[in-house]
Amino acid sequence: MAVAQQGAQPAQPTQPLSICGLQLECHPTERDWNLRHADALVRANPGHDLYVMPELSSCGYDELVFTRLEDFAEDVRAGPTTTFMAALAREVQAHICYGLVRRAEGAGGRPYRICQAVVGPDGSLVAQYDKMHLCHYGECAEKDFFSRGELPCTFEVCGWTLGLLICCAHRSPP
């Protein structure tokens, strides 16, 4: 890994970056349907370097899912969602960013995290980010179900350094 000298400017990307944001219609608790739907949308929009899907795109963002987390929690490296997305990324030769419930044994607190992961064109996991700012007001009660993440992350696509963030809402006290 090269270390930049103090005062040196980072290298600028030499090619454009094409990102396709996919707004999925997720069916809560229906992971297989959601994955097939994501696959169809990626294939219907060919030619991008990065496809980005929403928070919990694999299982849906819904209290039905929250009350059955053990049924949907996965190992981010070898679970069904990553296995599916890795095969798709290899086939379309692109990076794919997707959301899942990550099993986080030994994480302290609740053993589940809301995770956004990225697989590269070779199918390898290149980034994972656990949501750091859990929603905790009004009807939203993520803190009742999930542990918060601890670290931001970055990854590279076509020479561009990108970061991940999941729905970072802030509400001022009344």
Residue 141: is it exposed, middle or buried by C-beta count within 10 angstroms (0-12/13-18/19+)?
A: middle
Taking the domains of the chain in order of start, what are their residue ranges? 19-163
Single pTM value for the model:
0.88
Total length of the chain:
174
CATH classification (class only), 19-163: alpha beta
* pLDDT confidence of residue 152: 94
Predicted local confidence at residue 95, as pLDDT: 98
pLDDT digits 0-9 by tens, 149-170: 999 999 999 999 999 998 765 4
Cβ–Cβ < 8 Å for 12, 160: no
Portion of the chain with pLDDT greater than 70, in percent: 85
- Segment 109-122 mean pLDDT: 94
Confidence of residue 3 (pLDDT cuts 50, 70, 90): very low
Give the pLDDT mean for 112-134. 96
Mean pLDDT, the chain, whole residue set: 89
Q: How much is the pLDDT for 124?
A: 98
The b-or-e profile of 57-79 (16+ CB within 10 A means b, else e) is bbbbbeeebbeebeebbbebeeb
What confidence score (pLDDT) does residue 174 get?
Answer: 47
pLDDT on residue 1: 35
Task: Calculate mean pLDDT across residues 23-49.
Answer: 96
Tokens of 95: 């990076």
What's the whole-number mean pLDDT along residues 10-32?
90
State the pLDDT at residue 77.
96
Mean pLDDT of 42-69: 95
